[in-house]
Amino acid sequence: MQKGSVEGLETPRELLDLVQPHIESYDYFLGEGIQRVVEHIDPIEVEHPSTRNRHRFWFENPIIGRPVKDLVSAGTDERLFPTECREAGVTYKASFQLDICFQQEGQGIKRMVRRFGLLPVMVRSLHCYLRRFDRKQMVKKGEEANEMGGYFICNGIERVLRMLIQQRRHYVMALRRGAYENRGKNFTNMATLIRCVRPDESSAQIRCHYMKDGLVNVSFIIRRAEFFVPAGILLKCFMEVTDRELFDKISALDPEERGRAETFREDRAELLIRQAAHFGLHTRAQCVEYLGHTFRTVMDVPSRRTDYQVGEELLRLYLFIHLTHPADKLNLLLFMLHKLYALVSGQCCEDNPDALNHHELLLPGHLMMRFMKENLEAGLASMKANIVAEMGRNPDAVMLLDEKYVKKMADKMPDIGRKVEYLLNTGNMTTRFGIDISQNTGFTVVAEKLNFFRYLSHFRSVHRGAYFAELRTTTVRKLLPESWGFMCPVHTPDGSPCGLLNHLTAACKVAGTGPESPEDTDAAIAMVLAGLGMTPAVPALSMPPIPLYCVIMLDGRILGHVRSDRASHIVARLRGIKAAALARLQPLPAGAKVTTLQGPERFIPAGLEVAHLPYERGSPYPGIYLFTAAARFQRPVRQVISRAPELIGSLEQAHMSIRCPDGGAGGSRGQRFTHEEFGTGAMLSVVAGLTPYSDYNQSPRNMYQCQMGKQTMGTPAQAMAHRPDGKMYRIHTPQTPLARTHRYDAYKMDEYPNGTNAIVAVLSYTGYDMEDAMILCKSAVDRGFAHGTLYKTDLVDLRTDKGDKEQVFAPDSRKPRFMRGREQEPQKGAFGEEYPQNIQTPPTSQSVSSRRVRASPSHQDADRIDIDGLPHIGAAIWPGQSYYSTLDRITKTHKGGKLKGEEVAVIDQVTVIGAKERDLQKAAIKMRISRNPVIGDKFSSRHGQKGVLSQHWPDADMPFCPRTGIRPDLIINPHAFPSRMTIGMLVESLVSKAGALQGKFVDASPFQRSDGIETDPIKDFGDALEEAGFARHGGETMVSGITGEEFAADIFVGPVYYQRLRHMVSDKFQVRSTGPVNKLTRQPVKGRKLGGGIRFGEMERDALLAHGAAYLLHDRLHTCSDYDVADCCANCGSILSPTQRPVPLPSFAARLNLGSTPASKATCRICGEGARIERIALPYVFRYLLAELAVMNIKLSLTMQ
Amino acid sequence: MSSRAAPKRTPQVSVRKIEPDFCEFVLSDTDPSVANALRRVMLSEVPTLAIDLVEIEVNTTVLNDEFIAHRLGLIPLVSQRVWDFTGAYDTNDDDENALMDIVFQMDVKCTGDDTLDVTSNDLQLDPSFPDIHPVAYSTGPQDAQAEKGVLLVKLRKGQHLKLKAIARKGIGKDHAKWQPVATVAFQYMPDIRINHALMDTLSEEQKLQWIQSSPNPVFRLNPVTAQVEVVDAEAYRYDGEVIAKAKALGKEGLVNITPRQDMFIFRVEGTGAMATQQIVVAAIDVLLRKLDTLQQSLASADAAMDMDGL
């Protein structure tokens, strides 16, 4: 097997492919995307009140720069690199500017440049300097050698824009939804809908609702409000058509069929045509005018526009926005009607909106485009509002031709860079008009570098949308067969996000962009199809009916139709072309061949999706649906005959026959396999594919492993010195697993190892391994097993918002303790452990005089803090000690930053931030906290078998193998296996043992036999074990280390790769006898950080009552809680009235003799006497309750007995 | 005190093999408890020297202070003189002259362009104890053939490591770095009894089959007498294959195999801190001292009980 580490200078392709959807889409945004956004923003128009001149304003020529430092002296490198941003806690962003063009009607265009702030730049995108860096250059710049990018750096934190699922664009779906009936009277639950997307990625949904009376209403959305228009009117708006033509188009009957009993569509066609007539609308102009008149107020258009113009505008801006030609729009509307009728008549079934074949992804770049469009439009609108407002106040001051004036108005536009930064920082989006996304929070997540598994999972995760998380039904969470090969069935968390947060399979790609020039591609496809026998759609002709003919649709545009029996021929040819197109992008595998492309075929993209839905009554509506647009899921499969790879999409996959490696020769009846999977790994995500022998495990265990793999303490990064992450875990002695899947090598996991091969014995030995506890051999821990470190970075920023310089780092200049003649007590930890000492160099030291070592400074905390107020590197800081000190220049007071927690930290690194400032005001202090395994820490194997360390068992007491002398590192209880059925772990142990004996790594990929590797691990490695002189089933005779007697049973021992999880007792333990209390009630506070307790609640109280443990109950609820002693007047029963009688001041002599101070006397202020006042113990809250009741004039008296 | 009548035995030791870091011997005529006691003492109570305290002055290497200190601690030190020292935790008397610390120095800086390996050979020995040094220690020019020492850390240009390391006496119970052995284990000698009467009912071919059913060569067929003989009882792994085979042949009870409770094969693998035979002897010494202590305290307890008139 190849090794799992990276060689050479190139970043591995496999890793780059993982972030491909992010980078590709963002690159598109940087290039063509932003251009298209700006092009599609409509100009604003204002009319000057006095001159009556009309002025137009619009944007042009967007330029996004590259990140640069803002203050650089000449000659130095002005480039701002991602590392610098991380270390300084700033944002990696580049300038963004636009030309504001303005024009008075009939005159020349003037333009000026306006900067819109700084736009965050995705790392390794086109505008990032790291884009073309090789591994060596990366390391030189303090980056990870294998940096893959795909994230933004916001205030030093790496954040990822989450990929969200949304409805597939340009595909007409037929739905039944109860909610549709609530749209109004006569509405049924049936509708067809399409999501249309403009080239600038802004989208709008159109729906055709079926009414109970057989009519159809078309709905569309203007500024978040839904409007309905009768389809009969809309049908006439696009083109000049006669009623006869329209009737033919709607009914779409086969000439032979005409006059038959089946008149369903004809009836409805007639109804629709009558509908328009009912409104008195006959011609196209009338219909458009009607629309314009109706929607005039909603659309906010200048009053001088005619109704007809407004109607045209409506059609252009809100109806089928992805199409430009009216004929196309009409055809699409007709198609929607046909599909709706088919749904109503039961000819086709409804589509499942939760299935992946009707989904696509909202990619980071596309989200940026939508967000930019919204904000740029809002900017223009605000400029208009400002101008109009000023026109009202002072028309003469408005000089719309004066550059200075326009600049003044333009400067009032909001800073878009800031808004994008806010979006990335918080994940919240504030939109005015709504950008057709159903959520407004949760768009970004932090790309935590806990370990590599977790890190890369952030880039592969796909969320269904925040809306669905609240849904009470579980249908959306269901794993549907349509997801096969695109979404991993294993890798989803359990709990609330189960099934909503999914992960892409390793091979799944997402089309980041559409074709380079959509027009040429469309034309080429149309030509090729015409060559293959398609009848192009002509406005004059009506669409022929299904099932005899089948429609061909490209990206939501009807291209034409073909006889159904010719369809599969066309599809087969298109697939050949696709494979050939792919072969031009990547080398063909051996033995594969593709057709040669001729003429327009050469312009067909490899990513073309060819979904051929054949006709069958009750199936989805038939047709050949072609897609070239971005945001679609894609994955490679192999064509059976040509052996060439082909990219397939999720819609086409559902209607193809693809052989799975273990699927045999079968397939559906009457259908032969045309494609096959590349391997069984095709269904697994990267993380799920790293579980060895996952096919031997019970399936939920593999899900648990996917979770735990992401919580493992491992190797988070190689450039640790350049990473200021707030918290980072790292293990000291990671190893490469003996048993690994081929994914392990393919994804170069040796670069970021995550665990240790531990010798695991499965036996019930000490009683300390019950209930998923496990025992570690003390000597193994002594030698470094699972040793780890927690790195914490504190960013100390003394600057205030105003930027004043009062606070600076400076040492506390008072004399140190040891110079004041007081020796510091060696402090000890909570459990008696000794803290490490910092050794100082006194000025009298020999090394100062002879070896020119600098003597320790002579200030207060000189043992750990240097003369600049920042800590020494390598200094040990005890809990509660200060690790930096500051000086307030105004008050001349010193303050120290105290180390919180109960652990000793060692200063690892101090980074001073700020290039120009002379004052030291900002620094990142990285501390390291040793986290070697202690009782209570959590470990797990790679099979969802987690356990808690219960003992460091002495080496001499561990059982041993009499022949080899091997003592296990780890003991787990055999009861962990029967109910969980993680056989994979047993196989891993057996196989690793054989591998270790042979000195080989073992391929532990799942489903090997289905992939054609003839192997039986139990037999093969059993033979190897036997050859090496071990029992073939992994058992060994073992001797008890305590008694020296042999165990009656053979013990199963072998190496298993163990992960140390980040859940550690040091972060979680909570102890308290007494401590901080709530001021008002004097009850203990809650919260670990505050030193509070764990609530001893009602049910716990019940348990003690049931046991009759009265003393314990009293101790918990009273003594350890708000114990209080109060004076109570037995006469009136009040505890509020007794007051202490003023006692005359004791004389000085008496005060010295404290013991003899007479006990103070209390009197009752109500009864006026003090004779019957008793001291009683009661909870303080009770006294508080009484006081509160007294306020409300309620008296409560106690009866004393 | 009553003494139970037990057959008096004199444990025997026969040495099979002695190498500097490996030895194998057979301990017989004693009980598993004694064998195990010997093993346990060798593993965790024979004192050795190991670096216990590290004062770091300069560390600009890629590894952090604690990590380097831990690695230093795990280097085996040649501990022939361990008996001259007093452990840090067992100074019960105020012996001012007790030897405790061996101070090593290290000061390595990389000045070349190549990676520099810092190994245990870079430790500068304590001038007062020139014979206490890491295993495989050599200070001469380090060519490929020479022992390279234990690798601690690798340096690149400009990195510097300067420290003082103090070695002390200790036992493996406190920390694994003081274990004198990599491993020590004993094996029970199998007692194999062939039921020859039953065996003779088998044909020669069946006998061969039966012999071959054992994965390890334990038995052989004597070509002269046509009898099955035990060649190497130790090779038997308690795998139960021959017993299963006998059952399959319908001859249950063909062979009876039990571990002998009075014969133990010991294998000791040293770390290099001490010669293996020294470890064994030292372990016996430690055991004896434990027994002494026990005897003394028993005697004093008896005396105390007598005083109380019990």
Residue with tokens 């780059």: A16
* Residue ranges of domains in chain A, CATH in brackets: 13-160+363-448 (no CATH), 170-321 (3.90.1110.10), 514-683 (3.90.1070.20), 692-712+733-785+935-1061 (2.40.270.10), 788-820+855-873+881-891+902-931 (2.40.50.150), 1122-1191 (3.90.1800.10)
Residue B8 lies in a domain: no
Q: What is the pLDDT of residue A940?
A: 95
Q: What is the pLDDT of residue A803?
A: 61
Tell me the pairing of strands A946-953 and A773-777. Answer: parallel
Q: Which residues of A touch B238 (CB under 8 A)?
A: 1037, 1050
- Quick one: closest CA in A to B183, which residue? A965
A1108, containing H or E segment: none
Closest of A504, A486, A509, A511 to residue A630, by C-alpha:
A511
Q: Which residues of A touch B33 (CB under 8 A)?
A: 1043-1044
Q: Which residues of A touch B269 (CB under 8 A)?
A: 965
Residue with tokens 């035990």: B230
- For residues A220 and A183, give the distance between their C-alpha atoms in angstroms, rounded to a whole number: 13
CA distance to partner chain A, nearest, from residue B96 (Å): 24
- For residues A376 and A413, give the distance between their C-alpha atoms in angstroms, rounded to a whole number: 9
Contact B66/A906, CB-based, under 8 Å?
Answer: yes
- For residues A698 and A980, give the distance between their C-alpha atoms in angstroms, rounded to a whole number: 7
- For residues A487 and A507, give the distance between their C-alpha atoms in angstroms, rounded to a whole number: 10
> Which residues on neighbouring strands pair with residue A1173, listed in sequence order?
A1129
Residue B267 lies in a domain: no
Q: Which residues of B touch A908 (CB under 8 A)?
A: 64
Mean per-residue pLDDT, A415-441: 83
Closest of A651, A652, A675 to residue A663, by C-alpha:
A675
Band the pLDDT of A196: cuts 50, 70, 90: very high
Contact B237/A1031, CB-based, under 8 Å?
Answer: yes
- Asked whether residue A131 carries a pLDDT value surpassing 80, the answer given is yes
Q: Which residues of B touch A961 (CB under 8 A)?
A: 185
Band the pLDDT of A266: cuts 50, 70, 90: confident
Residue B304 lies in a domain: no
Tens digit of pLDDT for each residue in A853-884?
Answer: 677 777 777 788 888 888 988 888 888 888 88
Q: What is the pLDDT of residue A692?
A: 94
- For residues B241 and B216, give the distance between their C-alpha atoms in angstroms, rounded to a whole number: 10
Which among A839, A930, A965 has the least Cβ separation from residue B183? A965
Tens digit of pLDDT for each residue in A521-548?
Answer: 999 999 999 999 898 888 777 788 778 8
Q: What is the pLDDT of residue A524?
A: 93
Tens digit of pLDDT for each residue in A17-47?
Answer: 999 999 999 999 999 999 999 999 989 888 8
Q: What is the pLDDT of residue A739?
A: 93
CA distance to partner chain A, nearest, from residue B141 (Å): 28
Which among B64, B176, B239 has the least Cβ separation from residue A1031? B239
The residue ranking higher by pLDDT, A1032 or A645, is A645
- Asked whether residue A553 carries a pLDDT value surpassing 50, the answer given is yes
Residue B151 lies in a domain: yes
- For residues A934 and A929, give the distance between their C-alpha atoms in angstroms, rounded to a whole number: 14
Residues present in chain B in total: 310
Q: What is the pLDDT of residue A820?
A: 47
Which of A720, A1039, A1040, A1045 would best serve as a mutation to test chain B binding (most B beta carbons within 10 A)?
A1039
Band the pLDDT of A685: cuts 50, 70, 90: very high
Q: Which domain holds residue B54?
A: 50-174
Band the pLDDT of A916: cuts 50, 70, 90: low
Contact B66/A1032, CB-based, under 8 Å?
Answer: no
C-alpha angle A1117-A1123-A1127 in degrees, rounded to nearest 5:
135
Residue B96 lies in a domain: yes
Answer whether B216 touches A (CB < 8 Å): yes
Closest of B216, B254, B219 to residue B238, by C-alpha:
B216
Tell me the pairing of strands B22-28 and B116-119. Answer: unpaired
Tens digit of pLDDT for each residue in A747-768?
Answer: 999 999 999 999 999 999 988 9
Distance of alpha carbon A1067 from its chain centroid, rounded? 25
Q: Which residues of B touch A955 (CB under 8 A)?
A: 43-44, 172, 176, 179
Band the pLDDT of A260: cuts 50, 70, 90: low
Answer whether B32 touches A (CB < 8 Å): yes
Average predicted confidence (pLDDT) for chain A: 87
Mean per-residue pLDDT, A821-843: 68
What CATH number did the domain enclosing B169 receive? Answer: 2.170.120.12
Contact B238/A1050, CB-based, under 8 Å?
Answer: yes
Structure tokens at A931: 């986290």
- For residues A995 and A105, give the distance between their C-alpha atoms in angstroms, rounded to a whole number: 82
CA distance to partner chain A, nearest, from residue B307 (Å): 36
ipTM value of the model?
A: 0.91
Which among B59, B237, B267 has the least Cβ separation from residue A965? B267
Contact A783/B176, CB-based, under 8 Å?
Answer: yes
Contact A955/B237, CB-based, under 8 Å?
Answer: no
Residue B108 lies in a domain: yes
| Contact criterion met (CB below 8 Å) for A409 and A391 | no
Tens digit of pLDDT for each residue in B211-222?
Answer: 888 877 888 888
Domain count, chain B: 1
Burial class (CB in 10 A: 0-12, 13-18, 19+), A390: middle
| Contact criterion met (CB below 8 Å) for A161 and A426 | no
Q: What is the pLDDT of residue A821?
A: 45
Answer whether B11 touches A (CB < 8 Å): no
Residue B216 lies in a domain: no
Contact B175/A1043, CB-based, under 8 Å?
Answer: no
Tens digit of pLDDT for each residue in A38-78?
Answer: 999 989 888 888 888 888 899 999 999 999 987 666 677 88
| Contact criterion met (CB below 8 Å) for A1130 and A1195 | no
Q: Which residues of A touch B39 (CB under 8 A)?
A: 956, 1044
- For residues A966 and A759, give the distance between their C-alpha atoms in angstroms, rounded to a whole number: 9
Contact A1046/B179, CB-based, under 8 Å?
Answer: no
Closest of A453, A1094, A330 to residue A753, by C-alpha:
A453
3-state secondary structure A522-553: HHHHHHHHHHCCCEECCCCCCCCCCCCEEEEE
Q: Which residues of B touch A906 (CB under 8 A)?
A: 64-66
- For residues B278 and B46, give the distance between their C-alpha atoms in angstroms, rounded to a whole number: 10
Instruction: Report the share of chain B in percent with pLDDT over 90.
Output: 44
A56, containing H or E segment: strand A54-64
Answer whether A1048 touches B (CB < 8 Å): no
**Taking a contact as any Cβ pair under 8 Å apart, which residues of chain B between 95 and 134 contact chain A?**
none
Q: Given phi > 0 = left and psi -120 to 50 = alpha, else beta, which region is A320?
A: left
Residue B206 lies in a domain: no
C-alpha angle A168-A169-A173 in degrees, rounded to nearest 5:
65
CA distance to partner chain B, nearest, from residue A1029 (Å): 7
- Asked whether residue B122 carries a pLDDT value surpassing 80, the answer given is yes
Mean per-residue pLDDT, A290-314: 88
Distance of alpha carbon A130 from its chain centroid, rounded? 23
Mean per-residue pLDDT, A255-281: 77
Helix (H, G, I), strand (E, B) or coil at B271: coil
